[in-house]
Amino acid sequence: MDHLTGISVFARVVETNGFTAAARSLGLSKAAVSKQVARLEDRLGVRLLNRSTRRLGLTEAGRDFYERAQRILIEIDEAEQAASSRQVNPRGVLRVNAPVTYGISHLVPVLPDFMRRYPEIRVDLVLNDRFVDLIEEGFDVAIRVGLGALPDSTLVARRLAVANHTVCAAPNYLAARGTPHHPAELAQHDCLLYSYLSTGEEWRFLDAAGRPLGVRVSGPMRANNGDALRHAARAGLGIVYSPAFLMADDIAAGRLVAVLTDWRTPEAAVHAIYPPGRPLGAKLRVFVDYLAETLGQARPTPR
């Protein structure tokens, strides 16, 4: 039992990203948590955590151990619930990462219904536009919106919805600079660049026959947030290549004008991303199923 306690405490330190937060969630002192982890490391004969004054990170051995330990703890937790109530009631803290704009516009509106369905689940939602390391940063799941293959092939991806891109600009920009009718013309335009676009400074298109075309672009502004680029486009700074859901209201209101409408962009999709090699815990399983139900396509896609 002492071994199991040490493993459980170590897992909580990883999931809360620190000894202080783990101690608070477990109702223990920070010293007691630190002692449990130190005992576990001594017993295993290997360092699991890299400690510094600024951050806490898993060693390679710690990452491998955490993945296996989490699977064991999930199975124990579900076994206890099944034995006591003959059903697994999803519960616990679910750490979710999502892009800022998509999180606010699509994810946050559906969370209240999810939490009413599963009142024992608490959602810890972190919104940012960078690609987080799920294991290193202690997230259960990340929502990602992107073109083509996702960059980390070690993760499991479940497709939730389509999120295709559009190309648009403000009417005053087009009046001053002209409207492009072929993607190649974008090289002569001011383009607004998204820092995390998987294709970098190349915007990709498909012609009517489905043939691909890539165009390298440049411009006066680069940003790591879609809303920032949307406002810049509305102000007439240039042409933006962005998920259609972000630009739809401005296009409908005439604040932005879609261009190159005879060309398609490669299919983009919304995915739920989570670590492989373990059975899905009840809280994660019902969350991903719920998003697939509410956001769109529920069919898992292979990586």
Domain segments of the chain as ranges: 2-85, 94-161+269-295, 165-258
What is the pLDDT, as a whole number, of residue 299? Answer: 40
Read off the tokens for 161: 């919805």
Residue 298 confidence class, pLDDT cut points 50, 70, 90: very low
Q: Could you identify the residue written with the tokens 């929502």?
A: 143
Pick the residue with more confidence: 242 or 82? Answer: 242
Pick the residue with more confidence: 74 or 245? Answer: 245
- Please spell the DSSP secondary structure of the chain, one letter per residue: -HHHHHHHHHHHHHHHTSHHHHHHHHT--HHHHHHHHHHHHHHHTS--EEE-SS-EEE-HHHHHHHHHHHHHHHHHHHHHHHHHHSS----EEEEEEE-HHHIIIIIHHHHHHHHHH-TTEEEEEEE-SS---HHHHT-SEEEEEEESS-S-TTSEEEEEEE--EEEEE-HHHHHHH---SSGGGGGGS-EEEETT-TTTTEEEEE-TT--EEEEE---SEEES-HHHHHHHHHTTS-EEEEEHHHHHHHHHHTSSEE--TTSBPPPEEEEEEE-SSSPPPHHHHHHHHHHHHHHS-------
Residue 131 confidence class, pLDDT cut points 50, 70, 90: confident
- 94-161+269-295 shares its CATH topology with 165-258: yes
N-terminal to C-terminal alpha carbon distance within the chain? 39
* 126 within 8 A of 97, measured Cβ to Cβ: yes
Pick from 58, 79, 205: nearest CA to 138: 58
Q: For 82-94, write each residue's pLDDT tens digit.
A: 555 545 578 888 8
What is the pLDDT, as a whole number, of residue 154? Answer: 59
**Amino acid residing at 156:** V
Mean pLDDT of 51-64: 79
Read off the tokens for 276: 């492989």
> CA 26, CA 9: separation in Å to the nearest integer?
8
CATH 3.40.190.10 is held by the domain 94-161+269-295: yes
Q: For 248-292, write each residue's pLDDT tens digit.
A: 899 999 999 999 998 988 877 888 888 765 556 788 888 988 998
DSSP code of residue 122: E
Q: State which CATH number among 3.30.465.10, 1.10.10.10, 3.30.70.360, 3.40.50.10780 fits the domain covering 2-85.
A: 1.10.10.10
- The model's pTM is 0.60
Q: Could you identify the residue written with the tokens 């940012």?
A: 128
| Residues of the chain above pLDDT 90, percent | 30
Residues 6+ apart with CB under 8 A from 81: 87, 88, 89, 282
Residue 180 has pLDDT above 50, yes or no: yes
Helix 60-85 vs helix 2-16: crossing angle, to nearest 10: 110
> CA 301, CA 244: separation in Å to the nearest integer?
22
Residue 102 has pLDDT above 70, yes or no: yes
Kindly report the CATH number that applies to the domain delimited by 165-258: 3.40.190.10
Mean pLDDT of 7-16: 86
